[in-house]
Amino acid sequence: MKMCRIWQKLVIFLLIPIFLAIPVTPLSEEGGQRWEVLNPEGVIKIEPMKINPHPSTLEGKTVLLRWNGKHNGDKFLDRVGELLAQKVKGIKIIKSWEVAPETVDPISGSQERSIELMKKLAAFKPDLVIGSQAD
Amino acid sequence: MTIATTEFAGLAKDTALSQGVADGCFVTVSHPMGMIPLADIKEKAEKAFPQILKAAIEWKPVAKLPPQKPVYPAGRLEFKGTVEDINRQLYASGFSLGLPVIPPTPESVAAMLKGTNRKPDEVLGMVPPRMGALTVELVAIHAVMAGCKPEYMPVLIAALEGLLDPKANWRGATTTTATSAFLVIANGPIVDRIGIASRQGAAGSSHHANASIGYAVNLIAEIVGGSRPPSPDKSTLGGPADFVCWIFGENEDALPKGWEPFHVDRGFNRSDSVVTVMGIYPPVDNIDHWSVTPEEHINWWAHLVTPLLSIGGPAWITQMDQPHIVGLGPEHAQLLAGAGLNKDQFRKAFWEKARIPFSAWPKGSPNTDLLIRRFGPVKPETPIPITFKPEDFLIVIAGGSGKHSHFFAPFPGCFPVSRLVRK
C-alpha cells in the first residue's frame, strides 16, 4: 500500500512538467477555442500606370485596331473599322495584323513580349487603340 | 479601349488593374466571339458600335488605385471554434482551396521560418494576377497551411522564385481557359535530403514533401495571386493539379551511363540542388510495352504526340519556340541508351519524326499565315515540326519501373526557369 502511494506521487511528479508545457488555450463563453492566425492573403502592391485620355473627336485621327489572334477578333475589328470609316471624316484605320503580322501570334505570351508588341504598335503613332480580347 | 465578351470582361478588368490601371476603357459584347459564323460576328460588331464610338471620344480616366499598405508583417486574424470551424471560416474568406489546411498560428509560422536563412520581410515578388506581395513570411504561412516541414522551405522558395521570373509567365498559366498547371522538377542532393520522391509514382500520392510543397505552391497562386475560378482563373474545366501541382525529383539513379542529369543540361553542377519550374498542359502518357529497338520506340513517340493538337506548337505558334519536357521512364531510357543513343541523338530523332501535316490546322487559326511565313510555301501534306528546333525537347528521367514516359508541353509563353536551392 505504502509502495503504491510512492508510485502515485512519482507519477504525479513526473506529469507536472508535461502539463506545464501544454499551452493553455483560453476558452470563450461558448467553449470554442480562440485562434490567432496570420493572414495568408498578402498585400496588393501595384504601381499605378497613367493612361492617356481619349481624343475628343476621331475626325482626322488615326485608330489602330489590335487583334490578339483569337478566333473572329479580326472579323469583329474589321467591321468596326468599316463603320468608323463610314461615320467619321478623315479617319485613318490601321489594322495590326496587316501592318505588323508578327504582333498577332504571342497570344497568352509574357508581359515582356506584350511590352515589346506595344512598342511596335506605338510606332504607328495612333491616337486611339481598339483591341479585341475575345474568346 | 478593350473589347471583351461578357464571360471575359472581368478578367480583362482584373488584368488591367494588376498592371496599375484602375479604370481602363472597356466595351463588353455578348459571349462568345470565337467559333461563330461571320454574319454573327459582324452583327455583334454593329450592335456594339454606338458604344464603341461613344467610348472612343468620351471616356476619361477617373478612378484611382486603392491606398497601398505595408507588406510586412502579415496581419492577424482571430477565429473561434474547432479546427473544422476555422477551416470553414478560412474557406469562406477565400483563404483555402477547399481542402483542409493547418491554421497558421504565429508560433507555427515562426517555427517554419527556421527552415530558411532568408529574412521574413524579404519580398520575393508580386504574384499575378492579383499582384499580392510575396514575402518570405507569407511563404512560411502557406507552408504551414499545406503541412510542409521547415526543411522544405528552401525548395518551396526556389520554386516560387522560378515562377516569379517573367519567363515563367505565371499570369498566363493561372488565368487561361486551358487545363494548365505548374510542373516542379527537383535535382541534386536536396532530393534525397528532404525526401522528395523521384522513383515509383513520384508525381503521385503518398510522398509528404512532394504533396505539401505542391499544395503550398497552389495555395500561394490562388490566395496571394488571387487566381480563383470562375475569374480571373478562367479554366474551362480545371483539374486536380490546381490543388497540388506536378512535382517530382529526377530519378538520377536511373540515368543511363553517360547521360547527365537534367540540371546539368541546364548549366548547373551535378552537386548543385536545383528546382526547375514550368507552366504546362496535362502530360501525355507514352505507353510503350512493345518496342525493342530505339527506332520503334521513337516512331511510337512521334505518333503519340503529333495528333494531339493541344499539347504543343500546333495549338499556338508561340509554343513552337518553347522547350517541351520529355519525362522518360527509366525503362524507355535504358532501351535508347542500351542501343547506344545519347540524349542528343534521341531528341533529334524524335524531333525529326514528330511532324504534323500543314492541313491539320483549322482554317480560322492565325497560325497558318505565320507558318507559311516561317516555312515558306507549304502544301497540305507538308510536315511541320512540333518545335522549331530539336534542342527544345528537354529530357528528364521521370518515375520508376514500368513502360511509361510522359510528354509535358508548355503553356504558351511559359519557359522553364531553374533556380539554385539556397538555405
Residue B359 is given by DSSP the state G
- HEC string of B260-315 equals CCHHHHCCCCCCCCEEEEEEECCCEEEECCCCCCHHHHHHHHHHHHCCCCCCCCCC
Percent of residues in chain B assigned helix, strand, coil, to nearest 5: 40, 15, 45
Residue A107 near residue B318 (C-beta atoms within 8 A): yes
What residues of A are in contact with residue B219 (Cβ under 8 Å)?
40
Of the ranges A97-111, B27-41, B147-161, which one carries the lowest mean pLDDT score? A97-111
If 0-12 CB within 10 Å is exposed, 13-18 middle and 19+ buried, where does residue B56 land? buried
**Confidence label for A16 from pLDDT (cuts 50, 70 and 90):** very low
With a CB cutoff of 8 Å and minimum separation 6, the contacts of B287 are B403, B404
Residues 329-348 of B with CB under 8 A from A: none
Mean pLDDT of B100-109: 98
The predicted pLDDT at position A17 comes to 44
The predicted pLDDT at position A26 comes to 40
The predicted pLDDT at position B369 comes to 78
Residues 250-289 of B with CB under 8 A from A: none
Residue A64 has phi, psi (to 5 degrees) of: -100, 125
Contact A72 B75 (CB under 8 A): no
The predicted pLDDT at position B331 comes to 98
With a CB cutoff of 8 Å and minimum separation 6, the contacts of A125 are A62
Amino acid type, B49: F
**Confidence label for B14 from pLDDT (cuts 50, 70 and 90):** confident
**Confidence label for B286 from pLDDT (cuts 50, 70 and 90):** very high
The predicted pLDDT at position B308 comes to 54
Q: Percent of chain B at pLDDT above 70?
A: 97
- Residue A80 distance to chain B (closest CA, Å): 6
Residue B139 has phi, psi (to 5 degrees) of: -60, -45
Of the ranges B67-71, B135-139, B248-252, B329-333, which one carries the lowest mean pLDDT score? B67-71
pLDDT at residue A18 tops 80: no
Q: Which has more pLDDT, B421 or A118?
A: B421
Q: Which has more pLDDT, B101 or B60?
A: B101
Of the ranges A118-132, B136-150, B167-181, B351-365, which one carries the lowest mean pLDDT score? B351-365
- Residue B88 distance to chain A (closest CA, Å): 13
Q: Which has more pLDDT, A133 or B59?
A: B59
Residue for cell digits 479546427? B83
User: Going edge to edge, which strands form the sheet with B181-187?
Assistant: B246-249, B181-187, B274-280, B417-420
pLDDT at residue B58 tops 70: yes
Nearest residue to B184 (alpha-carbon basis) of B216, B149, B140: B216
Residues 192-231 of B with CB under 8 A from A: 219, 223-224
Q: Which long-range contacts (CB under 8 A, 24 or more apart) does B238-241 make?
A: B238/B179, B239/B179, B239/B181, B239/B282, B241/B181, B241/B182, B241/B282
Q: Is B69 on the interface with A (CB under 8 A)?
A: yes
Amino acid type, B51: Q
Residue B61 has phi, psi (to 5 degrees) of: -70, 135
SS3 of residue B2 by DSSP: strand
Mean pLDDT of B375-399: 92
What residues of B are in contact with residue A112 (Cβ under 8 Å)?
166-167
pLDDT at residue A24 tops 50: no
What residues of A are in contact with residue B411 (Cβ under 8 Å)?
108
Average pLDDT, chain B: 93
Contact A109 B45 (CB under 8 A): no
**Closest chain B CA to residue A38:** B76
User: Quick count: other Cβ atoms within 10 Å of Cβ B30?
Assistant: 11
**Confidence label for A53 from pLDDT (cuts 50, 70 and 90):** confident
Q: Is B369 on the interface with A (CB under 8 A)?
A: yes
Residue B387 near residue B324 (C-beta atoms within 8 A): yes
Q: Is B44 on the interface with A (CB under 8 A)?
A: yes
Q: Report helix angle B38-58 to A73-87, nearest 10.
A: 50
Please name the member of B49, B79, B131 whose beta carbon is closest to the beta carbon of A46.
B131
What is the C-alpha to C-alpha distance for residues B13 and B68, in angstroms, rounded to an integer? 19
Nearest residue to B179 (alpha-carbon basis) of B246, B247, B250, B248: B246
What is the C-alpha to C-alpha distance for residues B363 and B366, in angstroms, rounded to an integer? 8
Residue B275 near residue B166 (C-beta atoms within 8 A): no
pLDDT at residue A19 tops 50: no
Enumerate the H helices of B131-256 as residue ranges: 136-146, 153-164, 170-175, 190-194, 208-219
Average pLDDT, chain A: 80
What is the C-alpha to C-alpha distance for residues B316 and B411, in angstroms, rounded to an integer? 9
CA angle B233-B235-B236, nearest 5°?
Answer: 145
**Confidence label for B59 from pLDDT (cuts 50, 70 and 90):** very high
**Confidence label for B319 from pLDDT (cuts 50, 70 and 90):** confident
What residues of B are in contact with residue A34 (Cβ under 8 Å)?
78-80
- Residue A124 distance to chain B (closest CA, Å): 17
pLDDT at residue B335 tops 80: yes
SS3 of residue B185 by DSSP: strand
Q: What is the pTM of this model?
A: 0.87
pLDDT at residue B341 tops 50: yes
Q: Is B146 on the interface with A (CB under 8 A)?
A: no
Query: Measured between alpha carbons, how far is residue B233 from residues A126, B11, B177, B388 in Å?
Result: 32, 8, 7, 30
What residues of B are in contact with residue A87 (Cβ under 8 Å)?
53
Residue A91 has phi, psi (to 5 degrees) of: -75, 145
What residues of B are in contact with residue A72 (Cβ under 8 Å)?
33-36, 41, 364
With a CB cutoff of 8 Å and minimum separation 6, the contacts of B392 are B321, B322, B323, B324
Q: Which three cell numbers stand for residue B402?
A: 514500368
- Residue B374 distance to chain A (closest CA, Å): 11
What residues of B are in contact with residue A43 (Cβ under 8 Å)?
68-71, 132-133
Q: Which three cell numbers stand for residue B374?
A: 516561317
- Residue A79 distance to chain B (closest CA, Å): 6
Contact A109 B318 (CB under 8 A): yes
Half-sphere exposure for B10 (CA within 13 Å, toward CB): 14
Whether ipTM > 0.85 holds is: yes
Q: Which has more pLDDT, B105 or A115?
A: B105
What residues of A are in contact with residue B131 (Cβ under 8 Å)?
44-46
Contact B56 A63 (CB under 8 A): yes
- Residue A48 distance to chain B (closest CA, Å): 4
- Residue B111 distance to chain A (closest CA, Å): 13
